[in-house]
Amino acid sequence: MKTRRRKSHFNVAVIGAGAIGADHLASFGLHPAAKVVAVADISSKRGREAAERFGIPEVVQDYRLLLGRDDIDVISIALPNYLHAKVTLEALRAGKHVMLDKPMATNARDAAKLVAEARARGALFMVGQNFRFNAETQTARQIVGRGSLGDVYHAKTSWSRRSGIPRIGSWFTQRRFSGGGCTYDIGVHALDRCLYLLGEFEAAAVSGQTFAKFGPRGKGNGGWGKSEIDPKAPFDVDDLSVALIKLRSGRTVILEAAWASHGPANDANATQLFGTEAGLSLPPVQLFRQTRTGYCTEAVDPLPPLVNPNRMVHFIDCLLGKAKPFVKPTESLAVQKILDAIYVSAATGREVRIK
Ligand SMILES: NC(=O)c1ccc[n+]([C@@H]2O[C@H](COP(=O)([O-])OP(=O)(O)OC[C@H]3O[C@@H](n4cnc5c(N)ncnc54)[C@H](O)[C@@H]3O)[C@@H](O)[C@H]2O)c1
């Protein structure tokens, strides 16, 4: 691994000025040691609008123009999923540090290449799993770390919407651009948070099933995303998925993701851990215990965060040597392998063993 001279200021370029690109642009601006100097988007209109809104001095349509520039240290990627691995690899090879929005890639083979490239180059590379950074997750992690739950042997984690397909006909709902539907899009958050809380990422076996019951009928549309709609594009991704994941230790996780469903809440995520001494759920963080006289539910007050709750601010803190990367590339690779296995299991009808 290469070692790099530590700097005290970092110039950032954001690639992709769509819905979440705005969060990248705003967030880096919160760190006094970072400046967003350029934004790239194939849509010159979206690029220009973002530059005006966030006061970014330069806009380009071709992101490759930014990779060769010596004055840019960090590339932050907010692109459709099919470009994640390609652009990350190019940026790492150009000597940049990379913040990549989720999911890591559209298959684990590509994801593994990113892990290897970042390691070989001594670059900071992080998948921006923002659920991990929020106050509830950080509080829950500390409660689990104290051993309050005893031996945690099972977990359930989900993100379910009633009508939240990112606009039907956009890249999100076309497999060739997204790689997959709700499993990659929101299942990734629920799974990553759960495995982070368990402190275990490697799975041994996965059984999954996927459904597309709303999107193909033009139902369940949500409002997310800025990219163009192709009304003729097929809806060929999942809008609900479920999986049973057996971790290497023998512990189990049930994952459920739904962009659209006849569920009880419009948009809800929840993670529950089951331990020998107590159970925990979030959000909000609550503990459940059986006592001699019955059951008790305990609300948990927020604990001081382990890292800055803003993932971009944290990324810059890591470059400054003030923090250790909170999301490790190997963890994101393990998550990717599980998500891929859900699709393989759904397609084959079999349990998939993960090496
Ligand atoms: N962390 C989160 O909570 C979160 C939330 C939403 C989206 N995301 C992820 O962020 C990524 C972007 O999602 P989004 O909602 O912003 O999508 P979006 O469609 O709103 O924006 C994507 C942008 O990328 C641009 N683009 C496409 N190809 C390009 C290219 N070759 N060069 C430059 N620009 C190009 C598009 O023009 C568009 O402006 C996705 O991978 C998504 O999964 C993460």
Structure tokens at 282: 């979030």
- Which residues touch 107 (CB under 8 Å, ≥6 apart)? 179, 336, 340
Q: Is 102 a catalytic residue?
A: yes
Structure confidence at residue 1 as a pLDDT band (50, 70, 90): low
What is the residue-averaged pLDDT of the chain?
A: 97
- Which residues touch 338 (CB under 8 Å, ≥6 apart)? 191, 203, 206, 243, 245, 354
The residue from 96, 102, 226, 337 that is catalytic is: 102
Structure confidence at residue 2 as a pLDDT band (50, 70, 90): low
Average pLDDT over residues 261-265: 94
The CA 156 to ligand 1 mean position distance, Å, reads 29
Residue 6 confidence (pLDDT): 80
Among the listed residues 130, 128, 183, 135, the one whose alpha carbon sits nearest the alpha carbon of residue 159:
183
State the helix-helix crossing angle for 108-121 and 84-93, rounded to 10 degrees: 20
Average pLDDT over residues 41-67: 98
The CA 299 to ligand 1 mean position distance, Å, reads 37
> Cα dihedral angle (219, 225, 229, 234), rounded to 10 degrees?
-50
Closest Cα to atom 22 of ligand 1: 18
**Structural Rg of the chain based on CA atoms:** 20
The CA 21 to ligand 1 mean position distance, Å, reads 7
Residue that is written with structure tokens 């033009």 in the block: 218
- Which residues touch 348 (CB under 8 Å, ≥6 apart)? none
Structure confidence at residue 3 as a pLDDT band (50, 70, 90): low
Average pLDDT over residues 63-92: 98
- 3-state SS string over the chain? CCCCCCCCCEEEEEECCCCCHHHHHHHHCCCCCEEEEEEECCCHHHHHHHHHHHCCCEEECCCHHHHCCCCCCEEEECCCHHHHHHHHHHHHHCCCEEEECCCCCCCHHHHHHHHHHHHHHCCCEEECCHHHHCHHHHHHHHHHHCCCCCCEEEEEEEEEECECECCCCCHHHCHHHHCCCHHHHHHHHHHHHHHHHHCCCCEEEEEEEEECCCHHHCCCECCCCCCCCCCCCCCCCCCEEEEEEEECCCCEEEEEEECECCCCCCEEEEEEEEECCCEEEECCCEEEEECCCCEEEEECCCCCCCCCCCHHHHHHHHHCCCCCCCCCHHHHHHHHHHHHHHHHHHHHCCCEECC
Q: What share of the chain in percent tops pLDDT 70?
A: 99
Closest Cα to atom 40 of ligand 1: 80
Residue 345 vs residue 2, higher pLDDT: 345
Q: Which residues of 251-284 are buried (b: 16+ CB within 10 A; e: fewer)?
A: bbbebbbbbbbeeeeeeebebbbbbeebbbbbbe
Q: How many residues does the chain have?
A: 355
Structure confidence at residue 153 as a pLDDT band (50, 70, 90): very high
Candidates 24, 41, 168, 332: which one to mutate for ligand 1, based on the most atoms within 8 Å of Cβ? 41
Closest Cα to atom 10 of ligand 1: 78
Among the listed residues 151, 5, 145, 15, the one whose alpha carbon sits nearest the alpha carbon of residue 91:
15
d(CA 287, CA 301): 11
Average pLDDT over residues 12-34: 98
In this structure, the residues whose C-beta lies within 6 A of any atom of ligand 1 are: 15-21, 40-43, 46, 63, 78-81, 83, 101-102, 128, 130, 185, 224-227
Closest Cα to atom 19 of ligand 1: 227
Least confident of 94-103, 111-120, 171-180, 287-296: 287-296
Q: Is the pLDDT of residue 84 over 70?
A: yes
Residue 355 confidence (pLDDT): 87
Q: Is the pLDDT of residue 5 over 90?
A: no
Q: Which domains are present in the chain? A: 10-127 (3.40.50.720), 132-306+335-353 (3.30.360.10)
Residue 336 vs residue 291, higher pLDDT: 336
Average pLDDT over residues 49-60: 98
d(CA 193, CA 85): 22
The CA 194 to ligand 1 mean position distance, Å, reads 24
Residue 80 confidence (pLDDT): 98
Residue 292 confidence (pLDDT): 87
Average pLDDT over residues 119-136: 97
Atom number, ligand 1, closest to the C-alpha of residue 225: 20
d(CA 299, CA 283): 11
Q: What is the pTM of this model?
A: 0.97
Structure confidence at residue 4 as a pLDDT band (50, 70, 90): confident
Distance between the two ends of the chain, CA-based, in angstroms? 25
pLDDT in tens, 298-349: 999 999 999 999 999 999 999 999 999 999 999 999 999 999 999 999 999 9
